[in-house]
Amino acid sequence: MKKEENRKLTVQELPVGDIVEAGTAVNFLTGSWRSQRLVWDKDKCIHCLTCWISCPDNSIKIAPDEKKTAVVTGIDYDHCKGCGICASECPVKIGAITMEQEKK
Amino acid sequence: MIKAVYSKGKLVAKTGNEVMAEAMRQIEPDVVAAYPITPATEIVQIFSQFVADGIVKSKYVAVESEHSAMSATIAACAAGARAMTGTSSQGLCLMWEMLYIASGLRLPIVMAEVNRAISAPINIHGDQSDTMGARDSGWIQIYSENSQEAYDNMIQAVKIAEKAKLPTMVTTDGFIISHCMEVVELYPDQDVKEFVGEYKPERYLLDTKKPYTLGSVDLQDYYFEHRYQLAQAMRDAKNIILDVAKDFEHSFGRKYDLYEKYQLEDAEIVVVVIGSAAGTAKVVVDELRAKDVKAGILKIRVFRPFPVEQIVKDLAHVKAIAVMDRADSCSGAYAPLYSDIISSLYSAGIVTPKVENYVYGLGGREINIEHIMQIYDNLRKIASGLQKPSSQVEYVNVRKK
Amino acid sequence: MANLKELSKNQERLTGGHRLCAGCGAGIVARQAMIAAGNTPVVVTSATGCLEVSTTIFPYTSWETAFFHSAFENSAATCSGIETAYRSLKEQGKITEDIRFIAFGGDGGTYDIGLQSLSGAMERGHRMLYICYNNEAYMNTGIQRSGATPKGAHTTTAPAGKVHPGGKEQNKKDLTEIMIAHNIPYVAQSYVGNWNDFVTKVQKALAVDGPSFINILTPCRLGWNYKPEDTMILARLAVETCIWPSFEVENGVYKINVMPKEKKPITEFLKLQGRFKHLFKPENAHILESIQSDVDFKWERLQRRASES
């Protein structure tokens, strides 16, 4: 984050009454919490989206493909906390997500 | 006796509760959420009939507790509605947590509050312990001497709250005002509606185009700034209240200030009082003035924000002051109004007036002309040096040895 | 029956960057509920608790929709106030669009301190969905016993000790049945670990013209003391052991939504959690037996109610 963004607002700058604009938590990065790093195998993935719906941290990136069907496109490592739910929910026969030790 | 001052006004005989309900009918808030409690029940009871009869467009939420009454009112206000409620005593106590949240979130709620004693022992009669306890909750507090003031204060409160972005309670003394029939001048509906105008919040939860979070967690890095904003808003509210009073006088002819000065200008002995007892004190002052005694009254209308700067100018010349509190703080020190008067004077470097503290009228205990006359007699002795002011709280009309 | 490809077209209204623990069930509940709500504008209220605290630390919020919190015990009263404001403003023509209302509360804020507010709001018939993310204790303050804590669980205020070896000695209260007794149009029990079950229920509840209530079992890795990746697995075991059946009551009609292929012994569910570890000491075998017999009784009763409906 840039220094300016980190600057705390003064009494005069703060909105009145504790208002926070929607969705600003995307600017708060929780990726550093990880001790386990998920590894997504694009080739094994069948894009069933089970990992996407199961993620508590909205960290499975999806986007429509050319047929306008949603597919997994990657992992949001800025927010993923490495809980491993995606790996445990990924269908056993597929095994497209594995967890490994996070490198510091 | 109230006289008509507005060309289109109408004199009617109504109780304090009835006129508060009338004011609410004319204001026609979008949402009212309330719970019954003596002696305030009538206000929302009458109002629910207006809703049932389609006289107002308002929605009424008959909640299951005062905590929910204040919660729902807060939520409705945050959602973008003009929202009101009414309560008293234990009801206000149950709202306690939410009172601070209403002000902390800067929501312009208006509450009709009927002052009643607090349990235990349970007592349904009038004293100001309930709202005095809420004096640090960040609510503007406007007290009324009679039904006319209650009505006028309710109408002004809507504008004050919305301009100051602070919740505002208008109070009457339980039973003494709430249930007594008095002559009141009511203004036409349309004129009241024009005066209060339409509520147009800058941000509101039902505005789906600009979603936001309200009521987030402030940690050490932001809480203090938000609370500072609140404290500053309360300081700034004094001018807002005065501006609204000016508008009100312009519209309806009745003059209001942060407090009322009654024979105060040249007064040597003064009673400072809040609410209906001011009416009794005025009778006493008239009698004393007829005997050339320079007695006066400073009647607090706006207790929060407290008119520190203004008050000291009007009390600086006085020789002896009796501060009458219809609430005790049980602090081992003094009652609420006294503490604020003393700190106002002292902080302005004014130490000449001798000031006594009288606690009176708890649980609806009678306060009559004789009691107040006795207080002025004491003040006369103190002013002339015949008697030293009491250094502790004096209790009026309580049986003790 | 929901479909993930279709659901993926809905708005994401809970962003990452919240401070819930890794693997927290509450984050899954909130996110799936918002996805289930589709693209209809929603105003969310929440009781004080993990979900509220972790998602709205100033100046950050994870909510992409209007979100309001004021206190612990009043999520339902709060939601009812907003819903009333909506009806008022809509009738006056000041609002034209359809908006839905969801109140969240943990089990502390729902079973205990917020029960009165919830009961009042449901009785008054506000069109709102109340979702209790039930992790069976006061997790935000550090795993204290609540009315939802099951018998035998160790919590910090009903710990297992020498004199009280079994942890909590009382059964949890049956809040779902209390809500059913309010005769509201839709009441359901669901669980984290079956997105389809939960999403379908949220959609049903939001379609109801009146109050609705969903009690969703939401494992807490800290309070239940298990490996974070097991959140879903544990909740599914709760259903498979019939300790937490998935069922719904629509206009008074009971329906079991997930029928376990084979009813597993409760120990399958309990043994994976640190909060029940002490129950596996030989001297506590009778506690396990009593939990099992209670589960058997209630499961039989639920099946009867469903078949009689």
CATH for C4-308, options being 3.40.50.410, 3.10.450.50, 3.40.50.970, 3.40.50.300: 3.40.50.970
Q: Which of B292, B345, B337 is nearest to B317 (CA)?
A: B345
Q: Is residue C254 within 8 Å of residue C189, measured between CB atoms? A: no
Q: What is the pLDDT of residues C3-57, one digit of tens each?
A: 999 999 999 999 999 999 999 999 999 999 999 999 999 999 999 999 999 999 9
Q: Which residues of chain B, if any, have pLDDT below 70?
A: none
Taking the C-alpha atoms of residue C260 and residue C243, their distance in angstroms, rounded to an integer, is: 11
Question: What is the residue whose two structure tokens read 């006493």?
Answer: B284
| Domain-embedded: residue A82 | yes
| Chain B CA closest to residue A17 | B105
Query: By percentage, how much of chain C surpasses pLDDT 70?
Result: 100
Q: Do residues C74 and B96 make contact, with C-beta atoms less than 8 angstroms apart?
A: no
Tell me how crowded residue C169 is: count the other CB atoms within 10 A of its CB.
11
Please check the confidence at residue C123 and state whether its pLDDT lies above 60: yes
Residue B50's H or E segment, with its range, is helix B41-52
Q: Percent of chain B, pLDDT > 90?
A: 99
Measure the CA–CA gap between C61 and A24, rounded to whole angstroms. 5
B346 — contact with chain C (CB < 8 Å)? Answer: no
Does the beta-carbon distance from B225 to A14 stay under 8 Å? yes
Token readout for C118 is 């919830």
Subunit contact C74:B61, Cβ cutoff 8 A? no
Quick check: C11 and C34 in contact, CB under 8 A? yes
**DSSP assignment letter at C95:** -
pLDDT at site B172: 98
DSSP-assigned letters across all residues of A26-49? GGS--GGG-SEEEEE-TTT-----
Name the residue in chain C with its Cα closest to that of B198. Answer: C94
Contacts of B89 (CB under 8 A, 6+ apart): B37, B115, B116, B117, B118, B119, B124, B130, B174
Which residues of C fall within a CB distance of 8 Å from A69? Answer: 5
Tell me if A62 is assigned to some domain: yes
One-letter amino acid of A45: C
The distance of B121 to chain C (nearest Cα, Å) reads 26
Contacts of A12 (CB under 8 A, 6+ apart): none
Same fold for the pair B10-252 and B259-395: yes
Report domain extents, chain B.
10-252, 259-395
Q: Domain B10-252 belongs to what architecture?
A: 3-Layer(aba) Sandwich (3.40)
Over residues B375-385, the pLDDT tens digits come to 999 999 999 99
Q: What is the topology classification, in CATH, of domain B259-395?
A: Rossmann fold (3.40.50)
- pLDDT digit string, tens, across residues B177-194: 999 999 999 999 999 999
In a domain, A12, yes or no: no
Range of the domain at A54: 31-101
Query: Which amino acid would we find at residue B323?
Result: V
Per-residue pLDDT for C121 more than 70? yes
CA B30 to CA C85: how far, in whole Å? 7
Cα gap C64→B207, rounded to integer Å = 13
Per-residue pLDDT of C171-185, as tens digits, reads 999 999 999 999 999
Which pLDDT score is estimated for C1? 63
Contact C119 B76 (CB under 8 A): no
Mark the ranges of chain A whose per-residue pLDDT is less than 50. Answer: 1-3
Report the run of H or E that residue C174 belongs to, with start and end. Answer: none
pLDDT at B328: 97
Model pLDDT, residue B211: 97
* Contact assessment for residue B44 and residue B36, using Cβ atoms and an 8 Å cutoff: yes
In degrees rounded to 5, what are phi and psi of residue C134?
A: -100, 100
pLDDT, position A1: 43
* Domains identified in chain A, total number: 1
Residue C15: which of A25, A62, A85 has the nearest Cβ? A25
- The rounded distance, in Å, linking the Cα atoms of B274 and B270 is 13
Model pLDDT, residue A3: 46
CB within 8 Å of B36: residues ≥ 6 apart: B44, B45
The C-side interface with A (CB below 8 A) comprises: 4-5, 7-9, 12, 14-28, 31-32, 35, 55-67, 195, 199, 228-233
Q: What is the CATH number of the domain that holds A72?
A: 3.30.70.20
With a CB cutoff of 8 Å and minimum separation 6, the contacts of C71 are B71, B97, B98, B101, C47, C48, C78
Residues of chain A with C-beta less than 8 angstroms from the C-beta of B229: 11, 14, 16
